[in-house]
Amino acid sequence: MGAAIAGVVINGKFLSAAPTAVHRVAYELTRALAVYGQQHDVSIALPPGGGLKWPSPSIPANEVGHLNGIAWEQLSLPGATRGRLLVNLCNMTPFMVRSGLTMVHDAQVFTTPRSYGQLRSAWARLHIRLAGSAQLGLLTVSEFAKKELVERRIAPPERIHVIHNGVDHVLRTPPDDAILKTLGLTPRRYALALANLQPHKNIGILLRAFEKPELAGAHTGAHGAGQSHRLRRSGLSHATQRGVCRVCERSRNEQLADPCTGGVHAITDRGIWAATRGGHVAGNPCSDRPLRRATRSMRPRRLDGRPHDPDAWSAALSRLVRQPALWDELANAGRKQAAHFTWDAAARKLMRVISQVTRVQSR
């Protein structure tokens, strides 16, 4: 019989870190959990004196310990949360915690470690393996990610719980349509890739597809942090010089920054929403698996067996340009399905998982 668990603590280290996609998931899920905070004694543990980079998620938050960074997470956090369930939402976890749940967003550090570098990949793999073997369970964001983690024997399937991301946070932000003019983009004449230039994202295929004659005059836009130096290192910067690609980087300011060199521009959440809304298609060239297998959230056009073929991408994208009725059909279906994916639903699923694992622990 395990020791009883009294309360839930969220590892709040991400709240004092620069915004990333992983941190966005952690923040929105934590924010949605505020509804259940008092009922289930949910609180947030913070490193001391870090300063919050995100708005308060309306859950009681307490600074604990006297360290910061990795040292805080590994040494201060375990002792400060003893006797409670620690929920880690950003892939990393204290090694000494057993009464914990850790969210592992994907298995990329196992499948494509070169995207992150040798040391970073090894460090992340250590966290994930320890969490999978020693803690009460893992959380992940899709059935596909769960399958890859199971295949690598990180944890058995019954101990990996899928918490789908929500999408409704974008509706809180008014779009800043000025970004389209800044980037020289015409609505429904560009594809948006919400990704960076790491190898596993396969963005080079999308850029080469837009160099084909059938997509003349159309553009692709890639968004993600740290784009400018990655673009130069990737050898794909010629795409910006020829006007095929507009690359955006996240800006911490509410106002758009001046255009950077090499066709790179700063963009805020408001600009991301405007660019997403105005795009003709979202490019996801990292796999031939349809997105619906992972989230069931939309009806994509599948490139069977040809995710690395720019000709296949060009043909599929030009078909959407030529057939507005097909575009409308897919867009409407996607919007209807996406409406089911809310952060409240994700928080409710997480609370069910927490109740499940804590009951098992208390037996």
The rounded distance, in Å, linking the Cα atoms of 332 and 335 is: 5
The rounded distance, in Å, linking the Cα atoms of 194 and 279 is: 11
Residues counted in the chain:
363
Burial class (CB in 10 A: 0-12, 13-18, 19+), 156: exposed
Report helix, strand or coil for 177: coil
Spell out the alpha helix ranges (H) of 140-241. Answer: 143-151, 178-183, 203-209, 227-234, 238-241
Q: Which of 206, 241, 247 is nearest to 223 (CA)?
A: 247
Quick: pLDDT tens for 205-258: 777 777 777 776 666 665 555 555 566 666 565 555 555 666 666 654 433 333
Antiparallel, parallel or unpaired: β 264-267 and 100-103: unpaired
- Tell me the CA distances in angstroms from 222 to 244, 273, 343, one per residue in order: 11, 13, 25
What are the beta bridge partners of residue 101?
Answer: 87, 137
What is the distance of C-alpha 150 from the center of its chain?
20
pLDDT at position 286: 66
pLDDT at position 79: 93
pLDDT at position 26: 97
Per-residue pLDDT of the chain (363 residues; tens, 9 = 90+): 455 667 899 999 999 987 788 999 999 999 999 988 777 789 999 999 878 889 888 999 999 999 999 999 999 999 999 999 999 999 999 999 999 999 999 999 999 898 888 999 999 999 999 999 999 999 999 999 999 999 999 999 999 999 999 999 988 888 888 888 877 777 877 777 776 667 777 777 777 777 777 776 666 665 555 555 566 666 565 555 555 666 666 654 433 333 333 455 666 778 888 888 887 777 666 654 433 333 333 344 555 546 678 888 888 878 877 888 888 888 888 888 888 999 999 999 999 999 999 886 656
The rounded distance, in Å, linking the Cα atoms of 268 and 270 is: 5
